[in-house]
């Protein structure tokens, strides 16, 4: 009985350390994602192309001229990526998920005008919105690890699944002189 108690405690501690490590990975990826996104939004002079709730391309002025950087959410892969023009795609977030059974998207980029009014999907598709977008925010949910129940097979289940980690950034202003007018 003593050995059963010791083994049970050992398994419990192993799973707890696994969940803790997975949670740390989620938090690290979230901080890195927000740092890249915030830096690019604040350096942007505008938005290029057609933005959506899942993707956006920023125009940036650099010392060598004008360039772009694209952010895109791939719902099938559960990833959020950053791709600079002519550069290598960097996966910022993995395991994007939303287990609360709501109808909201797992990752959403929100757009606002100078009066703090949010652009909806219908106004974004209208085409006269680009110069009006002055602020952005980013919201996402991630989760990793393997559950001891649910869809995973019993052989893969190890009880290290984290809780859903939800992040909502503050609004970030696009560096655009038109906002100051």
107 backbone φψ class: left, alpha, beta (φ>0; ψ -120 to 50):
beta
pLDDT of residue 52: 86
- Other CB atoms closer than 10 Å to residue 165's CB: what's the count? 19
pLDDT recorded at residue 153: 40
* DSSP code of residue 26: H
Question: Which of 126, 130, 122, 127 lies closest to 174, judged by CA?
Answer: 130
Q: What are the pLDDT tens digits along the chain (181 aa)?
A: 888 888 888 877 877 787 788 788 888 888 999 999 999 998 888 888 888 888 999 988 877 888 899 999 998 888 899 999 989 999 998 888 755 555 455 888 999 888 888 887 666 665 666 678 888 999 988 877 655 555 444 444 556 666 777 888 888 888 754 444 3
DSSP state of 55: E
Q: What is the pLDDT of residue 83?
A: 95
pLDDT at position 92 is: 92
Closest CA to 51 of 114, 136, 115, 117: 136
């Amino acid at each position: 009985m003593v050995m059963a108690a010791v083994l049970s405690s050992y398994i419990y501690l192993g799973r707890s350390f696994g969940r803790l490590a997975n949670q740390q990975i989620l938090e690290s990826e979230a901080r890195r994602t927000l740092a890249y996104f915030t830096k690019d939004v604040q350096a942007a002079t505008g938005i290029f192309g057609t933005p959506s709730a899942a993707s956006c391309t920023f125009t940036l002025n650099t010392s060598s001229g004008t360039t772009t950087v694209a952010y895109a959410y791939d719902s099938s892969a559960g990833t959020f990526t950053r791709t600079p023009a002519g550069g290598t795609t960097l996966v910022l977030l993995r395991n994007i998920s939303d287990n609360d059974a709501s109808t909201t998207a797992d990752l959403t980029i929100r757009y606002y005008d100078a009066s703090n009014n949010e652009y909806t999907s219908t106004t974004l598709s209208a085409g006269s919105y680009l110069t009006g977008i002055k602020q952005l925010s980013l919201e996402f949910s991630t989760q990793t690890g393997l559950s001891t129940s649910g869809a995973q097979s019993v052989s893969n289940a190890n009880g290290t699944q984290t809780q859903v980690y939800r992040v909502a950034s503050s609004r970030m202003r696009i560096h655009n002189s038109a906002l100051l007018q």
